[in-house]
Structure 1
């Protein structure tokens, strides 16, 4: 799909805010798939998946989630917790008149889909998540644990302990940060002191190879020049709040699930995934973190083959 063919957005009121939503395949009404981007992402990162899913018989709904693009950007940090983020998706289903849908998430979008499935299991038909596996809720809040193990410069911790610092650097260097981040085949190097994403935003020369064309990158940069980075970073600032919100929620996901890992991703695989998601299948692709853009054909095949095995609609 050329970006010029990506659906035009609509602003939809949900859950007390507005979401910018890109929709395709309305002729396939009754077979909804909701695609949820990660950080720092945008609905357009799913551009290669949308036409394949429409051709397979699905009504594809792709929101810019709160804090992104032209969607609402509340100022209250707690407005980005898992209750609000999952509530947005439930309200989006209500808008379209769907009881449930297949949800596909990447990175932070995967985290939201896992949380949505725990909090609103009756609204989720099947789960397909990329890169980020189910995160077990342990005895210690997540940021507190990361700080003890990985230190204060680890970006999750930094975002929480030094609010506003990283956001300002990203805002000042939007093009440079996104150009340097969306890369593949980046040569390995030993960990550096300091906060890695701040260093990345300030680096004059990118490493590896781009995963986007110049035109595709321009769309992403323009979106963040409009929205700023604070809304997306605020998702990180609710991680411990989410840990508390999920305290009394049954931790097992019973829906059929597909977990897609990238072999060259920095995100660690889960050794306990099947304990918490017993009906999970696992696929690995030979690429880095930006799976949708690095291996679009292979990803589409993995998703559609799995859906067909699950008895979901597939148009021949």
Structure 2
């Protein structure tokens, strides 16, 4: 495995029928685990700013590259990226370390996995801190059908499902440009172009706004996806309807103490009914876009630690 400068050396852990690449900090704090779950299209390295501070605060920090990412397994079967498998990986990760439960922190798709972890494995989740993506209540019809009716066939969730392989090929061919154009802040409001947003980002000749990271950090993400391609991570989206069925008979209310962190400039809007499904939630907004913990690293770290100290 390739080492990343100034980042913990990972190890591959066999669990749940696959291998996960896992980065750790604060191993001396055995017994006080916190699990950080990245989003799309990201990497465990997304949490580089938070890991040292959480370890210093007394946490055993566990940061997996989830299946389909980095040096973790990338199964070929699409159904092996459904929410039962993704949450099963995290439950098995706790088993590996001998933990009954942990604090879970998620960003973007990682937040979706953490919400689902609280529904499917509620006894394994002690507290929740989620960034960017609020709880998504189950829709009356399967999610992709719902999104297609609401947003049209060019919505990237819909496109990933209805035209498998098309976006994958474009993103694979433009990996560096796609990630450079995507990981931005202070992006000026512009009318949305026709077509599929992620393909447009990958083929745009120049990025908008300002970069959220330097070239050396961006190179970590680029190298990872140049190795794996994007199909494994996009397969998470291709299980949205399967997840809808998996969650059909699950109690939809998340009971754990929760901190929800929004970026005020994120295109994902705040939830209007979050407290209906997450009654023990506190909400915090930071002046930033979607990539919260990388765009506002110190503010995010302080928010996490301050909230955990209060409870």
Counterparts of 1:54-133 in structure 2 under 5 Å? 54-133=55-134
- Cα deviations by residue, 1:17-73 (Å, 9 ceiling, x for unpaired): 000000110000100000000000000010000011011100000000000000000
* Corresponding residue SS for 2:5: helix
5+ residue gaps, structure 1, are 311-316
* Corresponding residue SS for 2:235: helix
Q: 1:306 Cα shift?
A: 0.4
Structure 2 length-normalised TM:
0.98
- Cα deviations by residue, 1:170-199 (Å, 9 ceiling, x for unpaired): 000000000000000011111111001101
* Corresponding residue SS for 1:237: helix
Moved more, 85-94 or 135-144: 135-144
Counterparts of 1:203-222 in structure 2 under 5 Å? 203-222=204-223
Q: 1:138 Cα shift?
A: 2.2
The 2-side partners of 1:147 and 1:231 are apart by: 22
- Cα deviations by residue, 1:254-305 (Å, 9 ceiling, x for unpaired): 1000000000000111111100000000000000001011111111111101
Structure 1 length-normalised TM:
0.97
- Cα deviations by residue, 1:194-228 (Å, 9 ceiling, x for unpaired): 00110110112111100111000011100001111
Counterparts of 1:193-208 in structure 2 under 5 Å? 193-208=194-209
Q: Is 1:143 paired with 2:144?
A: yes
Equivalent residue for 2:300?
Answer: 299
Counterparts of 1:163-202 in structure 2 under 5 Å? 163-202=164-203
* Corresponding residue SS for 1:271: coil
2:82–2:239: 8 Å Cα contact kept in structure 1?
yes
Equivalent residue for 1:313?
Answer: none
The 2-side partners of 1:75 and 1:189 are apart by: 37
5+ residue gaps, structure 2, are none
Counterparts of 1:44-63 in structure 2 under 5 Å? 44-63=45-64
The 2-side partners of 1:270 and 1:186 are apart by: 22
The 2-side partners of 1:10 and 1:282 are apart by: 35
- Cα deviations by residue, 1:128-187 (Å, 9 ceiling, x for unpaired): 000000000121111101100100000000000000100110000000000000000011
Q: 1:74 Cα shift?
A: 0.2
Runs of 4+ in 1 over 4 A off after TM superposition: none
Equivalent residue for 2:276?
Answer: 275
Equivalent residue for 2:12?
Answer: 11
| Root mean square deviation of aligned Cα | 0.6
Equivalent residue for 2:30?
Answer: 29
The 2-side partners of 1:236 and 1:8 are apart by: 29
The 2-side partners of 1:268 and 1:187 are apart by: 17
Equivalent residue for 1:314?
Answer: none
* Corresponding residue SS for 1:135: coil
Q: 1:124 Cα shift?
A: 0.4
Q: Is 1:230 paired with 2:269?
A: no
2:139–2:146: 8 Å Cα contact kept in structure 1?
no
The 1-side partners of 2:173 and 2:6 are apart by: 30
The 1-side partners of 2:182 and 2:33 are apart by: 31
Q: 1:111 Cα shift?
A: 0.2
